[in-house]
Amino acid sequence: MERRTIGATALGVGAVGLGCMPMSWAYGRSEQRGDRSLRAVHAALDAGVSLLDTADMYGPFTNELLLGRVLKERRAEIFVSTKCGLLVGDGHVVANGRPEYVRRACDSSLRRLQTDVLDLYLLHRADPEVPVEETWGAMAGLVAAGKVRALGLSAVGVRRTRRSRTGDLYEGTIRQLERVQQVFPVAAVQAELSVWAPEALARLLPWCVARGIGMLAAMPLGSGFLTGTLTPGGGFEPDDPRARHPRFTAEMMAANQPLVAGLRRVAARHGAEVTAAQVALAWVLAQGRHVVPVPGTKRERWAVENAGAAGLRLTAGDLAELAALPAARESWEYPRS
């Protein structure tokens, strides 16, 4: 698999990563099986994937414990990225950016992952009660202590609004990045980027490229929508976040089918074995060598298919056709739970 680097750190990873969150958090909890997830991780590694993306809050904690079983056997092949800064309570999530907490969280993640160093440590969310420079300073101390190789910031929780269609969705994220960059270099930013969520291309990605910062593209398959395997109105499990998301109402899923149809048309030109999901990932890869898509899955079949997208090269005509697809539509009101 093609190799890409994470920021100025020159830490090399496979061009396609593996998002491990679905293995023990959020999507389809009734289908989460440890042994099946382990097979998916091993299959991804065998296919050339090296970046495994997790967080202490996934589970909570069980995601890191699961990956620790793999790292114990195949550490040399793995670039492990995990996150701190969010605590899971009873039905809610809160930010914690206190320096003493960050240091404890890192030590706990190291134990669960069965490793002595984290390749990339991301701040999951900034704590509004703690200056982000203080949190980042504690994280920088972990690099100095040899517990972490590089630092990153997650912007995955940014919620779209009507204003974001005309303004900059990531304006606040860039302000945070400018502040922490003065404390210690940012190696990577994790943000949503896909054919149906291209907002990061407007300013965030150019900002990162200009500074040699890598981007981990979260949700590059639109939380499963761009695979074409989800049926409008098919329903989700009650605790699946898509059950309450405005893009996954039956009406909006039906309205956005032209995006899936466009991906399928491009896939068909590249051969019967190429899928819409692979085209969606190849589009993300085509946004520049600073970008590493991190599709999430808990199934071996999808892990291998996603890895295969690294070998798909879209033509200028393909990219032009995808650029001409209608913008994703969504209801701006979150359904009541």
> Does the pLDDT of residue 139 top 70, yes or no?
yes
Helix axes 276-285, 316-323, angle to 10 degrees: 100
Percent of the chain with pLDDT over 70: 92
| pLDDT tens-digit readout, 46-83 | 999 999 999 999 999 999 999 999 999 999 999 999 99
Segment 194-211 mean pLDDT? 95
pLDDT value at position 168? 83
| pLDDT tens-digit readout, 180-194 | 999 999 999 999 999
Q: How far apart are CA 53 and CA 20, in angstroms?
A: 6
Q: What residues contact residue 228 under an 8 Å CB cut-off, 6+ apart?
A: 260, 263, 264, 275, 276, 277
- Three-state secondary-structure class, residue 238: coil
Catalytic-role residue among 58, 101, 121, 334: 58
Segment 130-146 mean pLDDT? 98
Classify 252 in phi/psi space as left (phi over 0), alpha (psi -120 to 50) or beta. alpha
pLDDT value at position 333? 47
Burial 284-306 (b: 16+ CB within 10 A, else e): bbebeebbbbbbbbbbbebbbbb
Q: How far apart are CA 48 and CA 277, in angstroms?
A: 18
| Mean pLDDT score across all residues of the chain | 92
> Does the pLDDT of residue 9 top 80, yes or no?
no
To the query of whether residue 58 is one of the catalytic residues in this protein, the response is yes
The DSSP-derived string for 67-93 is: HHHHHHHHGGG-EEEEEESEEE-SS-E
Q: How far apart are CA 296 and CA 303, in angstroms?
A: 8
> Does the pLDDT of residue 112 top 60, yes or no?
yes
Query: pTM (2 decimals)?
Result: 0.94
Q: How far apart are CA 241 and CA 263, in angstroms?
A: 24
pLDDT value at position 334? 45
Q: How far apart are CA 216 and CA 58, in angstroms?
A: 18
pLDDT band at 241, cuts 50/70/90?
A: confident
> Does the pLDDT of residue 101 top 50, yes or no?
yes
> Does the pLDDT of residue 164 top 60, yes or no?
no
CA angle at residue 293 from 279 to 223, to 5 degrees? 75
Rg (CA), the chain: 19
Write down the domain spans for the chain: 3-224+284-313
Q: How far apart are CA 195 and CA 221, in angstroms?
A: 8
Contact 97, 122 (CB under 8 A): no
Question: Which of these, 178, 93, 90, 94, lies nearest to 132 by C-alpha position?
Answer: 178
> Does the pLDDT of residue 244 top 80, yes or no?
yes
| pLDDT tens-digit readout, 206-233 | 999 999 999 999 999 999 999 999 988 7
Q: How far apart are CA 288 and CA 64, in angstroms?
A: 30
| pLDDT tens-digit readout, 262-316 | 999 999 999 999 999 999 999 999 999 999 999 999 999 999 999 999 999 999 9
H helices of 29-159, where?
34-46, 62-74, 99-113, 132-144
pLDDT value at position 337? 35
- Class of the CATH domain delimited by 3-224+284-313: alpha beta
Q: How far apart are CA 4 and CA 99, in angstroms?
A: 31
